[in-house]
Amino acid sequence: MELRVLRYFLAVTQERTISRAANILHLSQPTLSRQLSDLETELQVTLFERGSREITLTPAGRYLRERALILTQLADKTVQNLQTQSPIISGSLDIGAGESQGMRRIMHLISNLQADYPGIQLHLHSGDDANVKDQLANGQLDFGVIIGEQPLTHYHALKLPERDRWGVILPKTHPLAQQTHITPLDLRHQPLLISQQAAQSHQFADWWRNVASQIQLRGTYNLIYNAQLTVGDGPTLVLGLDQLVNVGPDSPVTFRPLSPEMTAPITVIWSRQQSLSPVARLFLQRLRASLPD
């Protein structure tokens, strides 16, 4: 399975017809059709359902498209990094992260890094910890930023001094907004949204304690921006992290921390199995230098 043919396959999936893809690739239509047919024969699957106007992907075709995107992006990045092994550092830096105020340190560092080395390109990939770890395993990422206590035996890890603080996002008109902190008793019978990651790891099990049976979880979210929109449109409250939502004078919502306090560590991780590029090594060097002893 050659990268060249995978790029042909991706072009066809994007253009939806072999004729348009052939024009873009500067190939004859019979040549491109033969390449795709040979690919199906090699893989022993049917990749396309050929219609009268456009082609659609089979389940096997959709799976190959996902993997082909990863493989071609990884190949392009590898070539780029190999071609920039020189004193003038350039290349791409891929970082996957959830929503966290700890990213301020990292983005400030990268801003300075790009000022010193304009040839460095940053690619940010948003996602929860499971997405970040999957992309690290696939070689799509150089580094991941994860939130909370987790086993990290398969990764190199560097813990940041910042910690994320949990609290409740609620309307400024809500009675609980008059309080400085929110306790488990305050949240009894209140409709709540909670982060998908926290729900799956039962992160609040100890915090709820005796009132767990009276907590009304209405659903989960993985992006706090979308979740906080529900606060202004109804009675739902959102359990989320501090400093991720606008709570300024013009905002209808506010943030109140939990009591007892709940915080989460922020950790930068990278694979033990893959070598770092010159750009990634420079980033790691500066990140370490930015941390207190």
List of residues 6+ apart from 4 with CB closer than 8 A: none
> How many residues does this entry show for the chain?
293
Q: Is the pLDDT of residue 232 over 80?
A: no
pLDDT of residue 4: 82
What is the spatial distance between Cα 239 and Cα 245, in angstroms, rounded to a whole number? Answer: 12
pLDDT of residue 80: 66
User: CATH top-level class for 3-81?
Assistant: mainly alpha
CA 27 to each of CA 34, 49, 52, 54, 66: distance values in angstroms, whole numbers, following the listed order: 11, 21, 21, 19, 24
Which CATH superfamily is 163-263 part of?
Periplasmic binding protein-like II (3.40.190.10)
Residue 263 Rama label (left phi>0; alpha psi -120 to 50; beta): beta
What is the spatial distance between Cα 193 and Cα 202, in angstroms, rounded to a whole number? Answer: 14
Closest to 122 measured CA to CA, from 249, 272, 280: 280
pLDDT of residue 94: 93
Tell me how crowded residue 250 is: count the other CB atoms within 10 A of its CB: 6
Q: pLDDT tens digits, residue range 128-154?
A: 888 899 889 888 899 999 998 888 888
Q: Please give the share of the chain, as a percent, with pLDDT higher than 70.
A: 95
pLDDT of residue 220: 93
The rounded mean pLDDT for the chain is 87
Q: Domain ranges in the chain? A: 3-81, 90-162+265-290, 163-263
Same fold, 3-81 and 163-263: no
Identify the CATH assignment for 90-162+265-290 out of 3.55.10.10, 3.40.50.300, 3.40.190.10, 3.40.1410.10: 3.40.190.10
- Mean pLDDT calculated for residue range 189-201: 90
Q: Please give the share of the chain, as a percent, with pLDDT higher than 90.
A: 37
Q: pLDDT tens digits, residue range 275-284?
A: 888 899 999 9
